[in-house]
Amino acid sequence: MTQSIYILNGPNLNLLGTREPDVYGSTTLDHIEKSCLKFAAEHDLEILFRQSNVEGKLVDWIQEAGQKGDGLILNAGAYTHTSVALLDAIKASHVPTIEVHLSNIFQREEFRHHSFISPVALGVICGFGANGYELALRALLAHLKGS
């Protein structure tokens, strides 16, 4: 059966391509979505790719992923470092979650070193730019296959 993966993106990630390209690269979110959809077509996956600047919307989508999805890839942007609500949503949804960041948050300001998501994530991929999304898809697929 085709498995459904939610890929959720938080605040300001809609600006990828023009936002601090020295930090986040020049790839747009649209391009990342297309790459993920291509990967999905090759691996019999359904991808629900979304972005919001609104914390509560991300909470709603994480709950939806828990009800309808098989896995979650989450780049929560700055909410990574602030949001107990996202942590609680992941905990409550029990959906296998991989945390992604384009930048290596540990090479950046101290306030980015703490993540509310990491304690409830299967793992974290950061510092590989846009490629991190495909790396996360591969890791999630392996997890779902039990390997």
Choosing from 58, 90, 98, 105, the residue that interacts with ligand DQA (CB under 6 A) is 105
Q: Which stretch binds ligand DQA (CB under 6 A): 31-39, 50-58, 72-80, 86-94?
A: 72-80
**Angle CA(63)–CA(122)–CA(73) in degrees, nearest 5?**
50
How far apart, in whole angstroms, are the C-alpha atoms of residue 147 and residue 143? 6
Q: Is 29 in the site for ligand DQA (CB under 6 A)?
A: no
How far, CA to CA in Å, does 67 sit from each of 24, 98, 114, 115, 122? 32, 17, 28, 24, 18
Using the minimum distance from each CB to ligand DQA, give the nearer residue, 93 or 103: 103
63 neighbors 90 (Cβ within 8 angstroms): no
Q: In what order do the strands lie in the sheet with 123-126?
A: 45-51, 3-9, 71-75, 97-101, 123-126
How far apart, in whole angstroms, are the C-alpha atoms of residue 89 and residue 110? 25
6 in active site: no
Q: Is 78 in the site for ligand DQA (CB under 6 A)?
A: yes
CB of 18 to ligand DQA, least distance (A): 14
CB of 102 to ligand DQA, least distance (A): 4
Choosing from 112, 123, 135, 144, the residue that interacts with ligand DQA (CB under 6 A) is 112
- List contacts with ligand DQA (CB under 6 A): 12, 75, 77-78, 80, 101-103, 105, 112
Residues with a catalytic annotation lie at 24, 101
